[in-house]
Amino acid sequence: MIDFFCLFLIFNQIGNVSPTQEVRVKIQTTKEESYYLLTRKQPLEIKVSGPTWIRVYSRIPWTKGKTGTVLYKMILEEDEIKEKFITTETEYSSVARLDKIKLSKWRSFYINVPEGMHTYRLIHWRCPSDSILLKFTSESPGRWQDIPALSYNAKLELVEDEKIIDYYEMTPEKPVILEIDGPKKLKVISRLNLKPAIRGEEVYSIDVIEKGKTVKSTKFRAWVSETAYYNKRADIIPSNPHIFFLNVRKGSHRYEFFLKGGTSCGMRFMIETK
C-alpha cells in the first residue's frame, strides 16, 4: 500500500501534514517558502472543504547544464472519480534554491472546489527529476470576461471540461483583429491548431501590431491537448493553451495578431473585471 502525504485544507486553513516532509526554498537569499515534496513513489493527497479555490504552485529541481524550457506532468484526481492531466512548461530560475540545488521558476494552476468535503490526489507522472515541489494557498483566480474579436478567419467552438468556449482562428495570411478601449488589462490565450497526425512539439510565435509597430512578440512550444477538442472541426486539434497579457493604455486601440509558424491558431481574449 502506498503511503500518502495528507494535507488538510479545512475552511481555507492549512492544518496538519503527515508525514511532515517540508523543504525550505530560499528566494534571492533572503526569503524562504515552504514546499511539499511530490515524488514518483509517493503521491500527495489533499482534503479540502468547499466551496473554495486552491492555488497550487510548483517548481522542479533543475538539471545541471540544461538550457531552454522543460516540461513536467502531473495527474490530479478528484474523489477517485475525475482525473485531469496537468502539463507545465518552465525554465531555470536564477533566484530560487533548495540548499545548493538549483530550481525552476514557479508555475501554478487552480482547483475549483465545490461544496462539501473533497479529496484530491496529485501524482507524479512525467518529470526530468524524481521530485516536484508543491505549495498550496487559498487564492481565487481573477475575474475575467470574454470579449469578441472584430475580424478573424473562422470562429471555433472549443470543448473542455464539458464547457464550450469561443476561440477565433487566425492563419499566417489572416490575422485576428481586436478593438478595445483602455485602460484595461487584456488576457490573451492562444492554442496552435495541429493536424491529427502530428506527434511531438511544434514552435510558433505571435506578433501584436498596432499602427504598424510591434507592441509585443511571444514564442511558444505547442503539443496536442489531452483535454480539449473542437466541435465540428475534425481536421484540427487544439494544442495546450498559452497565455500572455497586454496592458492597454487609455484610449481606443486596434491590435492585429499575426501568426508565425504553424497553419492556424485559436485565439481567446478576456478583460479583467472587478
Question: What tens digit of pLDDT does each residue of 210-240 get?
Answer: 999 999 999 999 999 988 999 999 999 999 9
Confidence of residue 19 (pLDDT cuts 50, 70, 90): very low
The domain tally of the chain equals 2
Do 130 and 149 sit in the same domain of this protein? no
Beta strands 237-238 and 144-147 are: unpaired
User: Tell me: the pLDDT tens digits for 26-83?
Assistant: 665 557 889 999 999 999 999 999 999 999 999 999 988 888 889 999 999 999 998 9
- What mean pLDDT comes out for the span 98-121? 93
Distance CA 185, CA 212 (A): 21
**Euclidean distance between CA atoms 10 and 80, whole angstroms:** 19
Q: Closest Cα partner for 130 from 24, 42, 33, 18? A: 42
Domain boundary among 73, 102, 137: 137
The predicted pLDDT at position 30 comes to 58
Q: What is the pLDDT of residue 260?
A: 96
For 68-106, write each residue's pLDDT tens digit. Answer: 889 999 999 999 998 999 989 899 998 898 888 999 999
User: Residue 18 — pLDDT band, cuts 50, 70, 90?
Assistant: very low
Question: Mean pLDDT for the chain?
Answer: 88
9 in the same domain as 133: yes
Distance (Å, rounded) from C-alpha 250 to C-alpha 128?
Answer: 45
What is each CA distance from 170 to 190, 207, 238, in whole angstroms? 10, 12, 13
Residue 166 predicted with pLDDT over 50? yes
Q: Are residues 9 and 133 in the same domain?
A: yes
Residues 269, 186 contacting (CB under 8 angstroms): yes
- Residues 87 and 218: their CA atoms lie apart, in Å, by 19
pTM: 0.71
Query: Same structural domain for residues 155 and 74?
Result: no
22 pLDDT higher than 80? no
Determine contact, residues 220/203, Cβ cutoff 8 Å.
Answer: yes
**Same domain as 208, residue 107:** no
Residues 69 and 122 in one domain: yes
Listed residues 137, 153, 172: the one ending a domain:
137
Domain range enclosing 212: 144-272
pLDDT band at residue 256, thresholds of 50, 70 and 90? very high
In contact, 110 and 54? CB cutoff 8 Å: yes
133/67 same-domain check: yes
